[in-house]
Structure 1
Amino acid sequence: MHEMAIAEGILGIALKTMDENAATRVARVNLLVGEMAGVECESLRFCFAALTKGTAADGAALSIERVPLIGRCGACGREQPIERYSFLCPSCRSGALEIISGRELKVESLEVD
């Protein structure tokens, strides 16, 4: 379950940021998780809640924004959603798609007290 390792990394970032800003508690962690990141969001929530027990992030909300998989065609230049992992441009059928979003796994922001 790699979600546990991800949750550990998120908690580490949150606690370090809290310390750097002389805060006493982490209230919320806002994440961006790309469609292609391979993260099970409910599993990540469960792991994060388990890891934060007894820490300064105990009870912190974990807000997850899913980022769609979007590609830009190198041939026709159109930006479009990539559906069912079909990496051919839906407009011109070129295979020259560049992924421009959907692989993110990022702590976007934190709320601390």
Structure 2
Amino acid sequence: MSLCEGIVQVLQQEAERQSFHKVNRVRLEIGALAGVELSALRFGFDVVSRGTLAEGAALEIIEQPATAWCLMCMRPVTIQQRYDPCPECGAYQLQVTEGEELKIKDLEVE
């Protein structure tokens, strides 16, 4: 719920800054390692946005894969979860480079 409250707060701040009064669609990019339960986020957004400029807005989620740099192979690899071995060489010396983000990609507003 706190994530949803934060999203709505950002929307309200941007509405003041950019002079819009209604949000029709919100597109979020969420990384595979962000630790976000997508169904809970959808439900929470519907609840938290009631009575705000985002009430009734469509919530579109773009899932981003997780990538890491393998220190043994010296190349980027895609991983499914944190602490996975490298899919190329099996080493565990991976540094996560993408997949932890949660950001508002864009909005459709009036």
TM-score, normalised on structure 1?
0.87
Match of 2:44 in 1: 47
Match of 2:33 in 1: 36
Does 2:102 match 1:105? yes
User: After alignment, is 84-93 or 11-20 more displaced?
Assistant: 84-93
Following superposition, the deviation at residue 59 of structure 1 comes to 0.6
Secondary structure of 1:55 counterpart? coil
CA contact (8 A) 1:15 1:26 kept: no
Instruction: Give the alignment's Cα RMSD to 1 decimal.
Output: 1.5
Following superposition, the deviation at residue 91 of structure 1 comes to 2.1
CA contact (8 A) 1:14 1:29 kept: no
Percent sequence identity is 37
Unpaired runs of 5+ residues, structure 1, are none
User: After alignment, is 92-101 or 34-43 more displaced?
Assistant: 92-101
Q: Aligned pairs, how many?
A: 110
Match of 2:56 in 1: 59
| CA distance in 1: counterparts of 2:10 and 2:81, whole angstroms | 33
Unpaired runs of 5+ residues, structure 2, are none
